[in-house]
Amino acid sequence: DAMVIQNPRYQVTQFGKPVTLSCSQTLNHNVMYWYQQKSSQAPKLLFHYYDKDFNNEADTPDNFQSRRPNTSFCFLDIRSPGLGDAAMYLCATSIQPRGNNQPQHFGDGTRLSIL
Amino acid sequence: SQQGEEDPQALSIQEGENATMNCSYKTSINNLQWYRQNSGRGLVHLILIRSNEREKHSGRLRVTLDTSKKSSSLLITASRAADTASYFCATTLNFGNEKLTFGTGTRLTIIP
């Protein structure tokens, strides 16, 4: 089945130690998104790729970076995780011809814990 | 902020009853979407309603949109235990904008 896969489901890292979360998709969607979701809160968009174009949200900390080496894969890099970065990180995809908003398809997320 | 607000924040009903959740937003939108999130999982798209539509149905789901009041409602009829989840509305701001802004969510619990 076509889907969005996030690995790992659970990630534990140490304060200040770089960590990378990964997302892959078999949907061949042109847009990929990264969200941060803290407990009992709405998902908050960090950034997204429209094809190869990177779009950063104004309030996304510099500590967060992303890479999209090809259509299928997207990575979230946290350079120096702080305690406040503990959260669920959700990857999503959508197919977006310009001017035609379509639903997003989500992976099951990676829950990041900081020790 | 465009972020929508949902009402109520939490809702508990008996299995078989209908559940209604409301969403309000602040600025003009292109469309509004509803998503479900089971505990510890990703979000699942339920239904999309465009700004020129007033009502949409999908199975046991009914969504209404009132652009004059900047509000939407999600009705789940004949609720089941499996409907227990958080429900989020999400809006896209304008034509061609591929970003969603999520509401605060309603936590729905169905009591068997």
Taking an 8 Å cut-off on Cβ atoms, the answer to whether A108 and B95 are in contact is no
Is it the case that residue A20 has pLDDT exceeding 70? yes
- Percent of chain A surpassing pLDDT 90: 88
Residue A88 near residue A105, CB atoms below 8 Å: no
Q: What is the mean pLDDT of residues B41-51?
A: 95
CA A85 to chain CA mean position, Å? 13
Is it the case that residue A1 has pLDDT exceeding 70? no
Residue B19 near residue B83, CB atoms below 8 Å: yes
- Rounded to the nearest 10°, the torsion over CA B3, B6, B9, B11 is -150
* Residue entry with tokens 């967060």: A64
Is it the case that residue A96 has pLDDT exceeding 80? no
* Number of Cβ within a 10 Å radius of residue A39: 7
Q: What is the pLDDT of residues A85-94, one digit of tens each?
A: 999 999 999 9
User: What is the nearest CA distance from B25 to chain A, expressed in angstroms?
Assistant: 14
Residue B53 lies in a domain: no
How confident is the model at residue B43, as a pLDDT?
Answer: 96
Is it the case that residue A109 has pLDDT exceeding 90? yes
How confident is the model at residue B1, as a pLDDT?
Answer: 47
Q: What is the count of structural domains for chain B?
A: 1
The SS3 of residue A78 is strand
Residue B67 lies in a domain: no
In angstroms, the CA B14 to CA B31 distance is: 31
Residue B21 lies in a domain: yes
Residue B91 lies in a domain: yes
Report residue B43 as tokens: 């979000």
What are the boundaries of each domain within chain A? 4-109
Residue B77 lies in a domain: no
Residue B60 lies in a domain: no
A90 touches chain B (CB under 8 A): yes
Residue B57 lies in a domain: no
A4-109: CATH class: mainly beta
Domain that residue B29 falls in:
1-39+84-100
User: What is the nearest CA distance from A16 to chain B, expressed in angstroms?
Assistant: 25
Mean pLDDT comparison of A2-11, A77-86, B1-10, highest-scoring range: A77-86
How confident is the model at residue A73, as a pLDDT?
Answer: 97
Compare all CA atoms of chain A with the CA of B3 and give the residue at the minimum distance.
Answer: A42
CB < 8 Å to B45, chain A: 103-105
Helix %, strand %, coil % of chain B (to 5): 5, 55, 45
Look at chain A and count its residues.
115
Is it the case that residue A105 has pLDDT exceeding 80? yes
Taking an 8 Å cut-off on Cβ atoms, the answer to whether A107 and B42 are in contact is yes
Task: Among A42, A100, A108, select the one facing B105 at the smallest CB separation.
Answer: A42
Is it the case that residue B112 has pLDDT exceeding 70? yes
CB < 8 Å to A21, chain B: none
Q: What is the pLDDT of residues B74-102, one digit of tens each?
A: 999 999 999 999 999 999 876 667 788 89
Residue A20 near residue A11, CB atoms below 8 Å: no
Lowest mean pLDDT among A38-52, B48-62, B64-78, B89-103: B89-103
Mean of the per-residue pLDDT values of chain A: 93
